[in-house]
Each structure stands twice: as structure tokens, then as C-alpha cells.
Amino acid sequence: RAKLSGRGSSRVFEAGMDTVMQARQALKLRLRDALTKNQFRLFYQPLVDVATGRVDSFEALLRWQHPERGLLAPSEFIPAAEETGWIVAIGRWALQEACREAMKWPSTIGVAVNLSAIQFRFATLTADVIGALEQSGLPPNRLELEVTETLLIQDNDTNTSILESLSELGVRIALDDFGTGYSSLSYLRSFRFDKIKIDRSLITTLTEPPDSDAVMNAIVGLGRNLAIATTAEGIETDEQFALVRAYGCTQAQGFLFSEPVPASGVSGLLERLGSR
């Protein structure tokens, strides 16, 4: 029977760590090939207009069709892609792919693409966005870019001016996952966002007043006063949908309407939910 302390167990622990590190290292090396071998996919999840229940746009969500491990979610590989810098090339691919796909949809339907803060450290971001729009022919007002507050924590001035130059292209900029982490109202002053996406964690506690209730009211009220659209993320039940409608959110997204689907599922969703 192995002892729980002493040299023996610590060696076992180290061996375990080695395996974790090796797996992470292997993942990083595979990321390089994944792009050239066309293993990334975009799934699309509808964002519906709260007033009409119809689809306004789709958010493009990255997946990795891994040859051995199957379809991987972003949490399983985006951290490694950010550490290695591969997120820049992957993010460029996602922009191109999302814009190209959106050209197949009705012209009233927009597409939202997530950007990593790492992409803002490279001078190519604005050129990548322009390139994706030009190559696809997608009008800029149909593209929305989602960023998180980490961007504004890290290098506020530089990133704010990049956001401004993106905004000048005519694309919309959304602040994703608002209400988590260090969410500060000052971020809403440093840049004029077009949309605030209220994080799922605030939605899941909505039915447990009173605190989330006050936070929700504050965020939606702020959005209304600043004329910024508000999207409630992670709507799973009719009850939650009724609540965010009552709060005055303008848009909703979540499994209640649909999980993210492959590109081939978009037309079916537009038929089922209706389009703007």
C-alpha cells in the first residue's frame, strides 16, 4: 500500500504533472497543423430580438474537429492557442470563415465573431477585419466583434484606439461576458460599445433575488440610458426569457432558442425561429 506522504507519493505526483505538461505540449504542437489541415469549425448560435423572438444575428463559436479526440470546445484549446500566439492565425481564419458563411444568409442577418485580447497585440487585426470583409463582400454593418473586458484591463489606451479604428470601419463592437470578473462601469466610458452582453452567470441567478435583480436592473438601465443594446446570454428557460424581457433587455441568446449548430443548421433555425 503506497504511503500518502514522503518521497514516493511526491514522485507519483511529479509523474502525473509530467503527463499533464506533455499533453499540453502535444496540444500546442497540434494547433499548428490543425489550421493547415482544416480541422477548425465554426458553429452558429442565434441571437433573437426579445420583442419579436426572431433571429437578429448568429454568433460564430469555434470548435476543433480533432482527429482522435473528436469535437473540442474552445475552453479545451483556446488557452493553448493564446499562449502560443496561434490564436492570431486562427482568429483571422474565423473572421474570414464567418463573413463568407454570413454571405449565404438573408441580408438582414448579422454575424458576431469573438476576438481574443491577444489579437489586439498584433498590428494585423484591423487589416484582418478589412480583409475578411473585402474577400467575402459582407457589408461592415452585418459584422459584430465581441471583446471581453480583459482587453481594457490590459492596455486600455492602445486597445481603446484599436477599437475605435475597428468601429470606424462600420462594424459593431460588443462587450462580452459583462457582469463577471472585474466588470467596471468605467469600461463603458472608455469606449462607446454598441452592445453589452450580460453574462450567463447573472442570468442563472436571476430567479434568486434580490442581489442579481439589482445588478440586472443597473446594467439594463445603463444600456437604455446610453442607448446601448443589451443581450442576455445563457437563456435556458421560458421563465428566464420572461424575466429578461421584463427587465428590458433588447436581445437574448441561449439553449432555449438553440444550441450552437454547424453552418448547415442555420437555414433550419431561420425557418423555425423566423428572421428579422
CB closer to ligand C2E, 11 vs 32: 32
Task: Count CB atoms within 10 A of the CB of residue 54.
Answer: 15
Name the 3-class secondary structure at 60. Answer: strand
Name the 3-class secondary structure at 81. Answer: helix
Which DSSP helix (H) or strand (E) runs through 139?
none
Residues 123 to 152 in contact with ligand C2E, rule: CB under 6 A: 146
Find the part of the chain contacting ligand C2E (CB under 6 A) among 1-9, 165-173, 229-237, 264-272: 229-237
Residues 175 to 194 in contact with ligand C2E, rule: CB under 6 A: 176-177
13 binds ligand C2E per the rule CB under 6 A: no
Name the 3-class secondary structure at 92. Answer: helix
Task: Count CB atoms within 10 A of the CB of residue 141.
Answer: 11
Question: Applying CB under 6 A, which of residues 55, 94, 174, 244 lies at the interface with ligand C2E?
Answer: 94
Question: Applying CB under 5 A, which of residues 45, 57, 114, 258 lies at the interface with Mg ion?
Answer: 114
Residues 6 or more apart whose CB falls under 8 angstroms from that of 112 comprise 47, 57, 58, 59, 60, 143, 144, 145, 146, 174
| Beta strand segments in 115-245, E | 143-147, 172-178, 195-198, 229-232
Name the 3-class secondary structure at 122. Answer: coil
Residue 49 touches which member of ligand C2E, Mg ion, none, C-beta under 5-8 Å by kind: none
Separation CA 116–CA 1 (nearest Å): 48
Find the part of the chain contacting ligand C2E (CB under 6 A) among 26-34, 159-167, 185-193, 254-262: 254-262
Find the part of the chain contacting ligand C2E (CB under 6 A) among 108-116, 120-128, 166-174, 263-271: 108-116
177 binds Mg ion per the rule CB under 5 A: yes
CB closer to Mg ion, 72 vs 94: 94
Interface ranges with Mg ion (CB under 5 A) = 114, 146, 176-177, 197, 199, 233
Interface ranges with ligand C2E (CB under 6 A) = 45, 61-62, 73-74, 78, 91, 94, 114-116, 146, 176-177, 200, 234-236, 253-255, 260
